[in-house]
Amino acid sequence: MQRFETKADARQAVWDRLQRDGAARFPFPPHGRIPNFAGAREAARRLFELEPWKKAKRIKVNPDAPQRYVREEALRRGIVVFVPTPRLRAGFKRLDPAKIPIDKIAAAAALSTSRAWAEDVPLEDLPRLDAIVCGSVASRPSGVAAGKAKATAT
Protein backbone atom coordinates (compact mmCIF):
# COMPACT_ATOMS: atom_id res chain seq x y z
CA MET A 1 0.00 0.00 0.00
CA GLN A 2 1.36 3.36 -1.03
CA ARG A 3 1.47 6.08 1.64
CA PHE A 4 1.38 9.81 1.00
CA GLU A 5 2.54 12.79 2.99
CA THR A 6 -0.60 14.81 2.26
CA LYS A 7 -4.10 14.41 0.87
CA ALA A 8 -3.02 16.58 -2.04
CA ASP A 9 -0.22 14.10 -2.83
CA ALA A 10 -2.68 11.20 -2.79
CA ARG A 11 -5.12 13.00 -5.09
CA GLN A 12 -2.33 13.98 -7.48
CA ALA A 13 -1.17 10.36 -7.68
CA VAL A 14 -4.70 9.14 -8.47
CA TRP A 15 -5.27 11.78 -11.15
CA ASP A 16 -1.87 11.08 -12.72
CA ARG A 17 -2.45 7.33 -12.77
CA LEU A 18 -5.93 7.61 -14.27
CA GLN A 19 -4.53 9.77 -17.04
CA ARG A 20 -1.38 7.68 -17.58
CA ASP A 21 -3.31 4.37 -17.67
CA GLY A 22 -6.02 5.71 -19.99
CA ALA A 23 -8.69 5.04 -17.34
CA ALA A 24 -9.90 8.65 -17.13
CA ARG A 25 -13.14 9.46 -18.94
CA PHE A 26 -14.78 12.76 -19.95
CA PRO A 27 -14.58 15.45 -18.66
CA PHE A 28 -10.86 15.96 -19.17
CA PRO A 29 -8.43 16.48 -17.66
CA PRO A 30 -9.26 14.40 -14.57
CA HIS A 31 -7.15 16.70 -12.40
CA GLY A 32 -8.86 19.14 -10.05
CA ARG A 33 -12.20 17.32 -9.94
CA ILE A 34 -13.92 14.13 -8.87
CA PRO A 35 -12.68 12.14 -11.87
CA ASN A 36 -14.81 10.11 -14.19
CA PHE A 37 -13.24 6.72 -14.82
CA ALA A 38 -13.49 3.49 -16.76
CA GLY A 39 -15.58 1.16 -14.64
CA ALA A 40 -17.88 3.83 -13.19
CA ARG A 41 -20.97 2.04 -14.58
CA GLU A 42 -19.95 -1.28 -13.02
CA ALA A 43 -19.09 0.45 -9.73
CA ALA A 44 -22.61 1.93 -9.68
CA ARG A 45 -24.18 -1.50 -10.18
CA ARG A 46 -22.05 -3.00 -7.41
CA LEU A 47 -22.95 -0.17 -5.04
CA PHE A 48 -26.58 -1.31 -4.99
CA GLU A 49 -25.52 -4.76 -3.77
CA LEU A 50 -24.49 -3.14 -0.47
CA GLU A 51 -26.51 -1.83 2.46
CA PRO A 52 -28.00 0.74 2.82
CA TRP A 53 -28.27 1.28 -0.96
CA LYS A 54 -29.73 -2.20 -1.49
CA LYS A 55 -32.97 -1.27 0.31
CA ALA A 56 -32.94 2.47 -0.31
CA LYS A 57 -36.06 4.27 -1.51
CA ARG A 58 -34.63 7.83 -1.50
CA ILE A 59 -30.98 8.78 -1.98
CA LYS A 60 -28.87 11.88 -2.56
CA VAL A 61 -26.31 11.69 -5.34
CA ASN A 62 -23.92 14.51 -6.12
CA PRO A 63 -23.90 15.92 -9.67
CA ASP A 64 -20.37 14.69 -10.48
CA ALA A 65 -19.94 13.05 -13.91
CA PRO A 66 -18.89 9.59 -12.61
CA GLN A 67 -22.01 9.49 -10.44
CA ARG A 68 -24.29 9.71 -13.46
CA TYR A 69 -24.32 5.93 -13.47
CA VAL A 70 -25.35 5.86 -9.80
CA ARG A 71 -28.26 8.17 -10.60
CA GLU A 72 -29.22 6.03 -13.60
CA GLU A 73 -28.98 2.72 -11.73
CA ALA A 74 -31.00 4.11 -8.82
CA LEU A 75 -33.76 5.29 -11.16
CA ARG A 76 -33.84 1.90 -12.89
CA ARG A 77 -34.30 0.29 -9.48
CA GLY A 78 -37.21 2.59 -8.61
CA ILE A 79 -35.25 4.78 -6.19
CA VAL A 80 -36.07 8.50 -5.96
CA VAL A 81 -32.89 10.52 -6.49
CA PHE A 82 -32.16 13.95 -5.04
CA VAL A 83 -29.37 15.93 -6.69
CA PRO A 84 -28.04 19.07 -4.99
CA THR A 85 -27.80 22.24 -7.03
CA PRO A 86 -24.51 24.19 -7.01
CA ARG A 87 -23.86 25.55 -3.52
CA LEU A 88 -27.47 24.49 -2.72
CA ARG A 89 -28.63 27.88 -4.02
CA ALA A 90 -31.73 26.30 -5.54
CA GLY A 91 -32.00 23.40 -3.11
CA PHE A 92 -32.26 20.00 -4.76
CA LYS A 93 -33.59 18.47 -7.94
CA ARG A 94 -35.84 15.45 -7.40
CA LEU A 95 -35.91 12.67 -9.97
CA ASP A 96 -38.86 10.34 -9.41
CA PRO A 97 -38.59 7.15 -11.48
CA ALA A 98 -42.38 6.75 -11.38
CA LYS A 99 -42.61 9.90 -13.54
CA ILE A 100 -39.83 9.01 -16.00
CA PRO A 101 -40.45 6.75 -19.01
CA ILE A 102 -38.12 3.75 -18.90
CA ASP A 103 -36.54 4.72 -22.21
CA LYS A 104 -35.72 8.19 -20.81
CA ILE A 105 -33.97 7.13 -17.59
CA ALA A 106 -30.46 7.60 -19.02
CA ALA A 107 -31.39 11.11 -20.16
CA ALA A 108 -32.97 11.92 -16.79
CA ALA A 109 -29.76 10.82 -15.02
CA ALA A 110 -27.58 13.11 -17.17
CA LEU A 111 -27.35 16.60 -15.76
CA SER A 112 -27.42 18.22 -19.20
CA THR A 113 -30.81 16.66 -20.04
CA SER A 114 -32.42 16.00 -16.64
CA ARG A 115 -34.48 19.23 -16.52
CA ALA A 116 -37.47 17.67 -18.25
CA TRP A 117 -37.96 15.27 -15.34
CA ALA A 118 -36.47 17.18 -12.40
CA GLU A 119 -38.65 18.79 -9.74
CA ASP A 120 -37.35 21.57 -7.51
CA VAL A 121 -37.15 20.75 -3.82
CA PRO A 122 -36.23 23.54 -1.40
CA LEU A 123 -33.62 22.56 1.17
CA GLU A 124 -36.16 22.79 4.00
CA ASP A 125 -38.43 20.29 2.20
CA LEU A 126 -35.77 17.63 1.66
CA PRO A 127 -37.15 14.36 3.08
CA ARG A 128 -35.23 11.86 5.17
CA LEU A 129 -32.80 10.02 2.92
CA ASP A 130 -31.82 6.36 3.09
CA ALA A 131 -28.31 6.86 1.71
CA ILE A 132 -25.98 9.55 0.43
CA VAL A 133 -23.46 9.02 -2.35
CA CYS A 134 -20.46 11.34 -2.44
CA GLY A 135 -17.54 11.06 -4.80
CA SER A 136 -13.91 11.43 -3.84
CA VAL A 137 -10.57 11.25 -5.56
CA ALA A 138 -8.82 9.00 -3.08
CA SER A 139 -9.65 7.18 0.13
CA ARG A 140 -7.89 5.61 3.05
CA PRO A 141 -7.89 1.80 3.48
CA SER A 142 -10.75 2.28 5.98
CA GLY A 143 -12.85 3.82 3.18
CA VAL A 144 -12.70 7.35 4.56
CA ALA A 145 -12.36 9.86 1.74
CA ALA A 146 -9.10 11.75 1.51
CA GLY A 147 -10.84 14.99 0.70
CA LYS A 148 -12.58 16.22 -2.42
CA ALA A 149 -11.11 17.53 -5.62
CA LYS A 150 -10.16 20.98 -4.42
CA ALA A 151 -6.95 21.35 -2.47
CA THR A 152 -7.53 21.46 1.26
CA ALA A 153 -5.31 21.70 4.29
CA THR A 154 -4.19 18.35 5.67
Edge-to-edge order in the sheet of strand 92-95 = 118-121, 92-95, 80-84, 58-61, 131-133
Q: How far apart are CA 110 and CA 87, in angstroms?
A: 19
Q: What is the pLDDT along the chain (154 residues), one digit of tens a residue?
A: 788 888 899 999 999 999 999 999 999 999 999 999 999 999 999 999 999 999 999 999 999 888 999 999 999 999 999 999 988 999 999 999 999 999 999 999 998 999 999 999 999 999 999 999 988 898 887 777 775 544 333 3
pTM: 0.87
Q: How far apart are CA 48 and CA 54, in angstroms?
A: 5
- CA angle, residues 39, 42, 46, in degrees to nearest 5: 135
